[in-house]
Structure 1
Amino acid sequence: MLTSERLPPLSGCPPRQLVILLHGLGADGRDMIELGYKWRQGLPHSMFLAPDAPDPCDMSPFGRQWFSLMDRRTAVMAAAADVAAVQLAEFIRAGMDGAGLTSDDVAIVGFSQGMMMAMQVGLAWDRPLAAIVGYSGALLAGPVRRPMPNTPILLVQGEDDEIIPFSAHEHAIESLRMLGVEPKTLSLPGLGHMINDPASEAGLSFLKEAFAR
């Protein structure tokens, strides 16, 4: 089972929603749980879980990775992401069961490689989720998957991202549209590979609306 950072609901009551926060390459759950601290005022009934990726990063002396980027062929990365997705799905289901929640109480949020994992797991989920939010990432799954059409998706990308090119954002939008899914999108001029305040606020607003439904 994956280890994780955990942030209980600000309300002090049992959680009504579960927000899974997935970090990028070379980071860990401690990095992404900071987003939970920013959002918990607006989502007081949500529990935030930020798991550590299963493997040490092979491109850095610190941090974790969901899968290796040594071989960046799409098929290779997608296959490796599928392996990590099994562990991640088990982690999410354990969180749901522990809190007595169902799929439509769950949102998956990912940054960079974490966004790739959010899409890899979220698009393959067997029931609609409350939401998927992807920051500064890409869609590895391509047009072979059939996502749940009722899962709201928000994709946020900086136009000056120096790590993940803006074309990856455009490709993800196009691929989802080919599957009959119309994601909500936000492109931010001047933003590099990070989640700034406007991006964070957009994610919070999207989750509040999704959970309200």
Structure 2
Amino acid sequence: MAATVLQSGVLAATKEHTATVIFMHGLGDKGHLWQVFGYNQERIIGDIRGLLPHVKFIFPHAPIQPVTLQGGMSMPSWFDIFSSDKINGKEDREGMLRAVNHINELITEEMETSKLSSDRIVVAGFSQGAAMALLTGLTSERKLAGMVALSGYLPLRADIFAMATDTNKNTPIFMAHGDSDVVVNYQTGKGSAELLKQHHYQVDFNTYEELGHSAFPEELQDLAKFFWKVLPEQA
């Protein structure tokens, strides 16, 4: 195993393991203590896990590093954040691509150790982690089962489509956003989905009224349906 493979929290499948979701947390969080829904990790996945007993969930931990937008404070972060402007603000391209490399190493490890093909793996994330899921999926040379971006946005939009491969051009993308989100503006998330659609990606964008930078049961139900669609149980 490569020395740079990310450390992760894991929830094993409850029956024969035939699929995996790799979920990237948001800024300042950790994989094994992911609480964006206001519950502990087991409760979050427990709400949808009953329908997906064959799915293993991996929650990688982002490295701890200084974040410019937070006054240089060190915290778990997939990349540095220079500006709250997700459209025109300066972005940490180098840090993002380094994180993508780490996530790809984790995918490789999962394929080798679990004997899965890449099309039985979904990359997913919340907020900053959602940006990583999209960047990883769009630039991947491996065919994935799906991508999930909760309360997130499309990073490096000036050149991401030049970086993208055709491998996941038709891979389903589930995006969800609360219309009261003030951390990642709702219009930023919606605009990201519209831009992906303009480039002929298969995006299902879901809006949740009066929801801030978080999630709630209806969203979990929609997410569970997506997982079941792209990662059906195999005989």
Q: Structure 1, residues 53-108: CA drift from partner, whole Å, max 9, x if none?
A: 02245338675100111356655333321111111110121112110001110011
Deviation, structure 1 residue 120: 0.9
Structure 1 residue aligned with 2:201: 181
Map 1:9-158 to 2 at 5 A.
Answer: 9-11=13-15, 13=16, 15-32=17-34, 33-34=41-42, 35-56=44-65, 58=67, 59=70, 63-71=75-83, 74=89, 76-142=91-157, 143-146=161-164, 148-158=168-178
| Residues 37, 62 of structure 1: alpha-carbon distance in 2 compared, 3 angstrom cutoff | farther
Farther off after superposition, 200-209 or 62-71:
62-71
Which of 146, 161, 165 does residue 185 from structure 2 map onto? 165
Give the share of equivalent positions with the same residue, in percent.
27
Contact 2:21 2:124 in 1 (8 A): yes
Deviation, structure 1 residue 174: 2.2
Contact 1:71 1:77 in 2 (8 A): no
In the aligned structure 2, how far is the partner of 1:108 from the partner of 1:27? 18
Deviation, structure 1 residue 200: 1.1
Gaps of 5+ in 2: 35-40
Query: Which amino acid in 1 is paired with 2:63?
Result: P
| Residues 31, 97 of structure 1: alpha-carbon distance in 2 compared, 3 angstrom cutoff | same
Q: Secondary structure at the match of 1:202?
A: helix
Structure 1 residue aligned with 2:37: none
Contact 1:119 1:141 in 2 (8 A): no
| Residues 76, 62 of structure 1: alpha-carbon distance in 2 compared, 3 angstrom cutoff | closer
1:7 to 2:16 alignment: no
In the aligned structure 1, how far is the partner of 2:151 from the partner of 2:45? 18
Contact 1:25 1:57 in 2 (8 A): no
In the aligned structure 2, how far is the partner of 1:61 from the partner of 1:78? 20
| Residues 45, 62 of structure 1: alpha-carbon distance in 2 compared, 3 angstrom cutoff | farther
Deviation, structure 1 residue 151: 0.9
Cα RMSD between the aligned structures? 2.1
In the aligned structure 2, how far is the partner of 1:199 from the partner of 1:144? 32
